[in-house]
Amino acid sequence: MALQAGGVSDDVARRLRERGIRPSVQRVAIARVALASHRHPSADEVWEQVKERLPMVSRATVYNTLNRLVEEGLLRSFASAQGHTVFDPNTAPHHHLVDDATGTIYDLPWEALAVDGVDALEGFEVRDFQVVLHGRPTRRSR
């Protein structure tokens, strides 16, 4: 398949190439969805969205590509409260608030919370951390 000329896709293709990932049509479509998401989608949710534009894309390609993007540092993945893997295009440190009623995961900026005592922990070498909160949004924004 021929590459498109559009701006967004080119930008995504460039980011893939920078990491040594050949930007096939499928990979660009998957990366566009996953990297632009403001949610924390599962692989199957990404697959559903990608299929709207590229109906023949296979489930294996979506899983392989998302895992590759994680390896190359363009995405992070973690297990949701329900135990399913979700992908997070925000690779900078930040906190998470989980609405257990809906499963929605909200980002909180790193600066919104201060954690004290990590450096003083005895017996552990800490590589990174985050605060995980459970609750729900009040205003119907976000």
Partner DNA sequence: GCACTTTTTAGACCAAGTCTAAACATTGAG
Partner DNA sequence: CTCAATGTTTAGACTTGGTCTAAAAAGTGC
Interface residue with DNA among 31, 33, 61, 98 (CB under 7 A) is: 61
* Residue of 14, 53, 59, 136 that binds DNA (CB under 7 A): 59
Residue 131 Cβ vs DNA, minimum distance, rounded to whole Å: 23
Please tell me the distance from the alpha carbon of residue 134 to that of residue 132, in angstroms, as a whole number. 7
CB atoms within 10 A of CB 116: 6
Interacting residue with DNA among 10, 25, 106, 131 (CB under 7 A): 25
d(CA 133, CA 86): 17
Q: Which stretch binds DNA (CB under 7 A): 32-40, 80-88, 92-100, 123-131?
A: 80-88
- Give how far Cα 24 sits from Cα of 7, 61, 67, Å: 16, 11, 16
Distance (Å, whole) CA 93 – CA 113: 12
Can residue 43 be called a binding residue for DNA (CB under 7 A)? yes
Min dist CB 4 to Zn ion, Å, is 29
**Gap between the Cα atoms of 3 and 54, Å rounded:** 13
Contacts to Zn ion by CB under 5 A:
88, 90, 107
Contacts to DNA by CB under 7 A:
1, 21-22, 24-27, 42-44, 54, 56-61, 63-65, 67, 83-85
